[in-house]
Chain A
Amino acid sequence: MQTNDPSITWVEEPRLGLAGKMYLPLIVQGLTTTARHLVSKKVTVSFPEERPQIGNPLIYRGVHRLNKDEQGRVKCVACFLCATACPAHCIDIIGIESPWPDREKYPESFTIDELRCIFCGMCEEACPVDAIELTSLFDLTGRSREEMIFDKEKLLSVYDQTKDAEPTQTAQLAAEAPALPPSSGGAS
Chain B
Amino acid sequence: MGTVLVNGVEVEVADDERLNGIQAAARAGVDIPRYCWHPGLSVVASCRMCLVETGTRNAETGAISMMPKLVPACQTPAKAGTVFVTESDAVKKARAMVEEDLLIDHPIDCPICDKAGECYLQDYHFEHGQKERRADIRPFTSRRRDLGPTVTLFVDRCVMCSRCVRFGREVAGTSELLVINRGSDEEIDVLPGFPLENKLSGNVVDLCPVGALGDKDFLYQQRVWFMKRHRQVCTHCATGCSIWTEENQDHVYRVRPRENPHVNQWWMCDIGRYGFHYVHDAARLVGAERRDGNSYKPIEWTEATAELGPKFDEQAKRGRLAAVLSPFLTVEEAFLLARWIRARDVDAMLAVGPVPVEGDDERFKSGFTIRAERCPNRKGIEAIVRHPRGELATWEDVLVEADAGRLAGVWITGGYPKPWVDEAAAGKLADVPLVVVQDLFGSPLWEIATYRLPGTAFAEREGSYVNANHRLQSVDWAVRPPAGARVEGSVYWQLLGMPGLYKSRRVLDDLAATIAYFAPAAEIVPETGVQLDAAAAQVSAAPLLASGS
Contacts and interface: CB of A to CB of B under 8 A. Distances in A.
16 contacts: A77-B112, A79-B112, A80-B223, A81-B111, A84-B225, A84-B226, A104-B109, A104-B112, A104-B220, A105-B220, A183-B138, A184-B138, A186-B139, A188-B141, A188-B142, A188-B143
Closest A-B pairs by Cβ, 4 of them: A79-B111, A186-B139, A186-B141, A80-B223
Interface residues of A, number: 21
A96 interface: yes
Interface in B180-226: 219-220, 223, 225-226
Given A80-B223, A96-B220, A105-B220, 11 more contacts: A77-B112, A79-B223, A104-B109, A104-B144, A183-B140, A184-B137, A184-B138, A185-B140, A186-B139, A186-B141, A188-B142
B142 A186 contact: yes
Interface string B106-127: 0101011000000000000000
Interface in A53-83: 77-81
A24 interface: no
Contacts of A78: 112, 220
Contacts of A129: 111
Q: Which of B105, B142, B220, B225 has most A Cβ within 10 Å?
A: B220
B156 interface: yes
Contacts of B109: 104
A147 interface: no
Contacts of A80: 223, 226
Specify the main secondary structure of chain B where it touches its partner: loop
Nearest to A104: B112
Contacts of A84: 223, 225-226
A134 to B, nearest CB: 20
A96 B143 CA distance: 18
A95 B220 contact: yes
Specify the main secondary structure of chain A where it touches its partner: loop
A186 B140 CA distance: 5
A160 interface: no
A153 interface: no
Q: Which of B137, B141, B219 has most A Cβ within 10 Å?
A: B141
A187 B111 contact: no
Contacts of B137: 184
Nearest to A95: B220
A125 interface: no
Interface in A134-159: none
B185 to A, nearest CB: 10
B105 A97 contact: no
B338 to A, nearest CB: 45
A187 B139 contact: yes
A96 B156 CA distance: 21
Nearest to B216: A97
Contacts of B142: 186, 188
Nearest to B138: A183
A128 interface: yes
B364 to A, nearest CB: 31
Contacts of B111: 77, 79, 81, 128-129
Given A186-B139, A186-B156, A187-B143, A105 B105 contact: no
Interface string B125-151: 000000000001111111110000000
A185 B139 contact: yes
Contacts of B220: 78, 95-97, 104-105
Nearest to B214: A104
